[in-house]
Amino acid sequence: MAVVGHSAGAQLALRAVADGARAALAVSLAGVLDLVEGDRRWLSSGAVAAAVGGPSTARGERPSGGADAYGAGSPLLRVPIGVPQLIVQGAADDLDLIDFGRRHAQAAERAGDDVTYLELPGDHFDVITPTTSIWRAAAEAITAALA
């Protein structure tokens, strides 16, 4: 079984596996894989802070007690997760998300995880649109990994 998530859902998919959910593959489709940096960069007008526990201050400080939630929820800070991962990223997506995907893949690989990083033409939603080449490539990679 593969655990797959898109955008904020990708963070949840990888976190579920890091927390012990049984899966043969964890898949990030344009994922928010670094919550700490996503908050610091004010990704999507503060969406990370709002999801984790409240708005950040103008200086990028997290709410009190938020540091544990950010670290526990951030896939980048949870490697190795011990499950093969497929990180799929559209090359025309938000530059922060591209950076997060690349850094997560590198960190997971350095930590000993089996990681495939797939960056192809497409935007944030092309990775979940079945008629796009990036979605077809991701589906083929998932199929191959589970075979």
pLDDT at 59 over 50: no
pLDDT at 62 over 50: no
Inter-CA distances, 133 with 21, 119, 126, 128, Å: 30, 11, 8, 10
pLDDT of residue 36: 79
Spatial strand order of the sheet with 2-6 comes to 2-6, 25-29, 85-90, 115-120
**pLDDT band for position 46 (cuts 50, 70, 90):** low
pLDDT over 70, % of the chain? 80
Lowest-confidence pick of 40-49, 56-65, 97-106, 133-142: 56-65
| Domains delineated in the chain | 2-34+74-146 (3.40.50.1820)
CA dist., res. 106 & res. 121, Å (int): 20
